[in-house]
Amino acid sequence: MSCIIDSVFWQYTVLFFLAATPWIELLFVVPLGIAMGLKPVPVAIVVFAGNAIPVFLIVVGYDRWKSWRAGKSLSERLHRRGRRRSRALRIWNHYGMPGLAMAGPLLTGIHLATVIALIFDPPRRKLLFWMTLSLLVWTGGLTIASYGGMEALRRWPGWGPGSGSNL
């Protein structure tokens, strides 16, 4: 029994680290965990945590890096100028962040989407809220779709246990 628990523990651990790795996103890891025969709710929790923790670390790391660097950069000087830029930034913050957050896992990956959003210097709580909400929606949807798909395949003639199929 201990061997089985250890094996399952390591499977979830691998899923966590795969989810935390940039460019190996939940779009790949959730179906992988379900296809491995792991329970869908723990897979969703582990993959969500594996994606969310690096997002929080990226935001904190970016802020620390930004405060650490010496002097003012060109982007900071430009940030102060112009009503046009401040208006564009407000519009992006109002409409763009939710769109980027929700499309991020599909288009760029949530980690890169977070870095892109940080370039626009949005409010951190708002950024973390939208990135976390996006991860919740994508993880839940993919878990349901992956589990439903695997259950449908298991019930398909010739795919179930004992069918003799080597697929």
pLDDT in tens, 81-124: 566 556 545 556 666 888 888 888 887 888 988 888 888 888 99
d(CA 38, CA 7): 11
How confident is the model over 40-62, as a mean pLDDT? 95
Judged against a pLDDT cut of 50, whether residue 1 lies above it is answered with: no
The pTM (predicted TM-score) of the whole model is: 0.77
Q: Where are the domains of the chain?
A: 2-155
d(CA 84, CA 100): 21
The pLDDT score that the predictor gives to residue 34 is 94
pLDDT in tens, 126-152: 999 999 999 999 999 999 999 999 988
How confident is the model over 59-82, as a mean pLDDT? 68
Which residue in 82, 120, 74 sits closest to 100, CA to CA? 120
